[in-house]
Structure formats: C-alpha cells, structure tokens
Structure 1
Amino acid sequence: MAQETIDRICKAEQAANHTEEKASEESERILQEARTRAEELINEISAESQNAARAKLEAAQQQGEQIMTEGRKQAEEEIAKLSKIAAEKEREAMQVVLSELYPVLDT
C-alpha cells in the first residue's frame, strides 16, 4: 500500500510536470502570437499613417500648384493690362512729340 501511494505520488508529479511543460509551451505560443499580431498592427498603423501623410502632402502640393497657377494668371493679366496702358501712353507721347515737331500737321 505504501508503494501504491508512492507510485500514485510519482504519477501525480509526472502529470503535474507534464501539465506544467504544456502550460509553458502554450504560454510561449500565445506570447509569440501576441508579438506577431502586435507587429502586424504596428505595420498596419504605420502604413495607414504614411498613406494619410502622403495624401495630405499631395493635397497640399495640389493646393500650392493651384495658388501658383492663379498667381501666375493674375500676374499675366496685370502684365497684359500694363502693357496695353504702356502702348497707349507711348502712342500719346509720340503724338505729343510729333505735334511739337510738326505743329502744322496737328490742324
């Protein structure tokens, strides 16, 4: 009977050791899965952040290009207007000079 008890205790210890080993292996597997999933989530979040930043950068570039295009258009319109005024003033100046040089033609 004492041997039976000792045998049962040994079997119980072996079962406990086996259960502990399985629990340790399972724990390590779960931790590894958690690490892998955490890394995947970090990569997803990083990719999403990069995509969002890229989209904002592209929008800012487009807005900058629009502002430049509008500014260039306004500058070209102003240049055309000033060129027209300058041409009119040049004609007026030439008429004044010619009328001073040739007063007879003025009448």
Structure 2
Amino acid sequence: MARRLKLFSDGGCRPYPGRLEAAVVIRGRPQFFDELGTGSNADAEWRAPLCAVAIARDFGLEDVEFVGDSLEMVRQANRAMATGYADSGHAAAWLLHCYPTSDHSVGAGHSFRHR
C-alpha cells in the first residue's frame, strides 16, 4: 500500500497584526506565499493549509495528509471534515476548499495532523 503524501504548512504575520505569509513543503521543496493580505497569526495559520489544498489540486493529488503546527486549527479542521459543520469562518473556508462540490470527491482522502 502506498504511503500518503504529506504536505507541511505553516503561516505567520509580520508585524502582529500584519502581512500574512505562508509556506507549504511538498516532496521536500518549499513553496512560499506572501500575497495573502493582512491579519492575525490565526488568519495566517488557516491560510497556509488553504495554500496546501491549492497545491494538492495543482498536482492532481487526491489522497494527502496535511500537517500543521497549530493544534487548535488542526482540531477545528478535522472536526469540520468529520461532521461537515464549521464552527468558525476559517473552518468554513477550509470545508469549501476541501469540498468545493457537494459530492465531496476532492477532499475525501484528506486528513489533517498536528506536528
């Protein structure tokens, strides 16, 4: 059985609050995003996995494991994927990015893990 591909993501802002930045690592190669608007660290932590979803789509990946370092964000993302219910605007955006259609085909193999 093939191992799931892991996409690592992290976000931050400078200064606080300030310009949002994110990085996603896929197959050992970092991708940087710095045109994400302004906001808080929480906003940046949520933007990073959204960038990872976009990369997964660009590569045609359907069964990936997203890894992030914000425990609260990871818990909310997993809860949203498990229940289909978003308890924050960030979690709602996560659901829309993972499941843009009603058939849940794009995000069906996704999982999110804290690291």
User: Would you say same fold, with TM above 0.5?
Assistant: no
Q: Which has the higher strand share?
A: 2
TM-score calculated relative to the size of structure 1: 0.21
- Structure of higher CA gyration radius: 1
Q: Which has the higher helix share?
A: 1
TM-score calculated relative to the size of structure 2: 0.20
